[in-house]
Structure 1
């Protein structure tokens, strides 16, 4: 219990550590975890590679094929360019990896391009970065799942007509696994990830040995070469289009910088090592697959993937090793969606906390993950798969431009950060929202590294935008623009609400009017809260304000404000270990109810602010209706909400 001497306010603390009632959903996703379990839910480097690298590693299964799809327009003679293009892409991978390794150590709390842009380039740049990444994560799920289904169809062609249904079912499965939590999903996916790595390296090494010993032939009965735009000469534009298709191999490289908080301490070190592991494996596999695909003259096709052709050529038709390779590739492509499922909800929560998306996305679910973000991602990805009929070739033009836009903003932001650090004096410290700036004697070198990274990714972004514009890249540009506009509208709404609820220059509460006993649930202390308190005073002088503490910092803020504005009304803070709001509140009300006197009425006064814009009301929770539903049958309990109108 705390008593504020200046204001005479009593603050009581109560811990609600009883787990929520069991639900059917708990059977599928596991029992609820307490907030105190969060440190135990972090992951190490081995599991981290499975969680955050599956997207990048899986791209080796289709990046080479997508380059060949474009080069095929000039005939099989152009396939010889696929390996040189892969060398350039690996060089770009090295640049991006070095740049993001610096980002990981500079921003140990994660957030990647969004946080870097927000702190160094301003609000508009951060909105663009968030829009680019969120749209890219949706495409990651759609592309990776569709590509995984394409592998299945390659082995079992009679399933082709069911590919969309299979893909949507796979998205649902991934959603369910991720709702179980980061650590558990990582453990589940670790074995398939390493199985894929071993299987692919085995295939590549076997193929190289057979090539250098003269035993590797050409693909037997390859699919028919499909020319999407007719025969074309080998031009610079054609080469650049193929290059832009191949740069999809870099999607997912930024994932680790976004998910640093998921790693065990020391977080930045573990995340940085995992990033280097991932990039090394990715580069080696991309070069090996591209080299061998060009030699065996694999043909890009919707009906049989390049990996399938390569495996049956290396292993002499469809034997056990072929089936193992196809199985491993299918699994990793489906699992690639896991990277997006790990990062989309985190980024959604960050943007929601900053008021760019509905606040509900910032709330953790029963398994300490951002459940609403996971469900939203699954819905949007399924919609894309249905619209584009699970076609990787149709989805690829939409892919990667968002990634390289975020790459560019992140690296340019980091270059700006090093420039700011260079202006500090040794020993000087400047705290920003996402990190702390300290003088670094090597700031010039690091600024050059990030600056060069920004230039390289900027060039690739424009190559991609120009060469893929008519193929669908314009849709991504349009979507990003719309998302930025939506962010601005939502943010403006929250700013307007905060301004109208602000207690600045508000003064004191009106005199009390004694009536009857009142319980006043509060989520925060603002003008709407004090309007409800004023109404409660008209009913009774026996008033208890109740705050369910989900986050300790927020609860402390509520306590300080209540001591200042609560005018002596007692406050009960109930610490909810499982981040559940309704059950601890109901338990407290039931405790009061069980000890009430005969003919005593308990009035629950719920503050509620209402916006004059109807659409904006969906951005806020309605506690009064939820309480009415739960307490409707309780005799002697009256529930009323006090609306505070915001024009």
Structure 2
């Protein structure tokens, strides 16, 4: 029953050789990986005005030079991340850059910051979109949390169905939003140029403002920089692009930067010219839309697409989080389960983890995640800063052709990012102090996981020069499923050979390369045991193994022999260590227990660390 429901919701499993068909075109990648950055246009300009409004509406003209500062930072980030894409074409973004050039700890700080940030991306974006829905339909306000949780569940399910399928569905709202804002900006500018817009609704540029200070301007600038969240997502997800992946990713990043810059500057300028003031009951974008169009169909189109993209901005997290988790897991800093592709060739464990943690966050804050926006922005600017610093070190060390200009770009981006981080911690410490706890905690957890994997590897490593001792065998057919050459397998084979001289080791490979590598290593090991290798197109161990056991069992039944399956199993020292390892052995045993006339023996190997 569960399997049927899974097939209906997620779809048929895809073969490993179908991976290329799951790659994204530039058009789809732009929508999927830019939705977070583009959606921030809906609240980035408003955050600037909210800070300036604490002084006076006369201070709103400062939003223009502040917007110029944001655009300068955006340009520096886009140019720098294009360099990162070509320098690190396998993805990983800030984590890979910081780890290679600044050291492992800095890489883990960047990786931990981004993982937390992607969780906040989903929670904040969905909550903001839910607020837009409940504002349009006040009767739904009591069900804010339920609606937000339902939206996260739907987006999670779409991503579990595969990257191209989710991109095909989610691309339309993103491009409809971009079109809506372009219409708003073009019509607004047309009204200004033709004299149809109010000329006295704004203060003149340069008007003296009492009480304005550098501190306040910097605070407004840091608030406006929230519009840059999500810029790094493309550099983390390069493997999701069609070949040539780095070239396509760099082009998509540049296009996203241009669109983001145009939309952000256009909204800031129109909000200034039309004298739009922020309020608790209506967004700046809503007021601007009604000022330009009135409350007509175009206004409601803008509002509808804004609500949609605020919700779908969460999809950037679902695209980037699993790949970042994969890179961390590949380096043994996260559980290995994050390296496994699911039925639809996506890293489904990362997708499900992101969905569940986001739902928990929404429930914990009862759908009101507004106070998380500063924390959300800090979570981005920490890896921004570290990635730019890492690239500065890389250019100084390697000195490639044209390295001076690349160094200037990275250095400028790093300096601006560090200034913004300092401003965040000075002006919004009450909102961002949690990062001083969360990020060190993440690094500590990463380190503990890494130590465990190193300890396990040390204990399981086999010296191939040591040959297994031949032993007398009893009549029996013994099958030993193996996942590699380890001390657990060696112990199980010795035991199997004590039971019978008909022992077969079975290895299920997920790729022809893994099969060839295992066969060569097994031959060098000289176990005296026949190795049977099976290739699984769908990366499933259980299905090909169970089919093989069925075949052997049928032959054994005819000859009157018995079949014994010996399951190698190492037992972790601490209970929580077991969560860091795949539990495929228990799934195989659960299946074999239902088979008649098949004996099952577990050979445990107890880890000491």
Structure-1 residue corresponding to 2:496: 536
Higher mean displacement: 591-600 or 528-537: 591-600
Kept in 2: contact 1:606–1:623 (CA 8 A) = no
Kept in 2: contact 1:401–1:461 (CA 8 A) = yes
Kept in 2: contact 1:513–1:538 (CA 8 A) = yes
Q: Against the structure 1 CA distance between its residues 132 and 506, is the aligned structure 2 distance closer, same or farther, given a 3 Å change threshold?
A: farther
Q: Against the structure 1 CA distance between its residues 202 and 103, is the aligned structure 2 distance closer, same or farther, given a 3 Å change threshold?
A: same
Structure-2 residue corresponding to 1:294: 272
Cα shift at 1:551: 4.0
Structure-2 residue corresponding to 1:304: 282
3-state SS in 2 of match to 1:634:
coil
**Distance of 1:526 and 1:343 partners within structure 2:** 34
**Distance of 1:487 and 1:393 partners within structure 2:** 29
Cα shift at 1:258: 0.8
Kept in 2: contact 1:150–1:302 (CA 8 A) = no
Match of 2:23 among 30, 38, 42: 42
Match of 1:636 among 578, 591, 597: 597
Structure-1 residue corresponding to 2:241: 263
**Distance of 2:512 and 2:223 partners within structure 1:** 47
Per-residue Cα deviation, 1:195-231 (whole angstroms, up to 9, x for no partner):
11111100111112222333234999xxxxxxxxxxx
TM-score (norm 1): 0.89
- Does 1:75 find its partner at 2:56? yes
Cα shift at 1:506: 7.1
Q: Which protein has greater RCO, CA pairs closer than 8 Å, 6+ apart?
A: 1
**Distance of 1:61 and 1:377 partners within structure 2:** 24
3-state SS in 1 of match to 2:434:
helix
Cα shift at 1:508: 2.4
Structure-1 residue corresponding to 2:319: 342
Structure-1 residue corresponding to 2:410: 450
**Distance of 1:75 and 1:375 partners within structure 2:** 46
Superposition pairs for residues 236-635 of structure 1, below 5 Å?
Answer: 236-316=214-294, 318-422=295-399, 440-470=400-430, 472-504=431-463, 507-515=466-474, 516-597=476-557, 598-635=559-596
Q: Comparing both structures, which one devotes a greater share of its residues to helix?
A: 2
Q: Against the structure 1 CA distance between its residues 555 and 468, is the aligned structure 2 distance closer, same or farther, given a 3 Å change threshold?
A: farther
Cα shift at 1:163: 2.2
Cα shift at 1:631: 2.2
- Does 1:172 find its partner at 2:133? no
Question: Which structure 2 segments of 5+ residues have no match?
Answer: 202-209
Kept in 1: contact 2:117–2:376 (CA 8 A) = yes
**Distance of 1:156 and 1:119 partners within structure 2:** 50
Higher mean displacement: 85-94 or 403-412: 403-412
Question: Which structure 1 segments of 5+ residues have no match?
Answer: 1-20, 221-231, 423-439
Higher mean displacement: 548-557 or 449-458: 548-557
Q: Against the structure 1 CA distance between its residues 372 and 493, is the aligned structure 2 distance closer, same or farther, given a 3 Å change threshold?
A: same
**Distance of 2:141 and 2:61 partners within structure 1:** 30
Higher mean displacement: 581-590 or 412-421: 412-421
Q: CA RMSD in A?
A: 2.1
Per-residue Cα deviation, 1:479-511 (whole angstroms, up to 9, x for no partner):
111111100000000000001111248722233
Cα shift at 1:639: 1.2
Cα shift at 1:556: 3.7
Kept in 2: contact 1:175–1:341 (CA 8 A) = yes
- Does 1:162 find its partner at 2:154? no
**Distance of 2:437 and 2:212 partners within structure 1:** 31
**Distance of 1:540 and 1:121 partners within structure 2:** 55
Structure-2 residue corresponding to 1:13: none
3-state SS in 1 of match to 2:221:
helix
Kept in 1: contact 2:467–2:526 (CA 8 A) = no
**Distance of 1:84 and 1:581 partners within structure 2:** 60
**Distance of 1:302 and 1:568 partners within structure 2:** 76
3-state SS in 2 of match to 1:608:
strand
Cα shift at 1:311: 1.0
Higher mean displacement: 168-177 or 486-495: 168-177
**Distance of 1:386 and 1:84 partners within structure 2:** 39
Cα shift at 1:83: 2.4
Per-residue Cα deviation, 1:131-156 (whole angstroms, up to 9, x for no partner):
01101111111121122222223333
Higher mean displacement: 174-183 or 440-449: 440-449
Match of 1:104 among 59, 70, 85: 85
**Distance of 1:459 and 1:280 partners within structure 2:** 24
Cα shift at 1:518: 1.0
Cα shift at 1:305: 1.5
Cα shift at 1:475: 1.1
Kept in 2: contact 1:62–1:147 (CA 8 A) = no
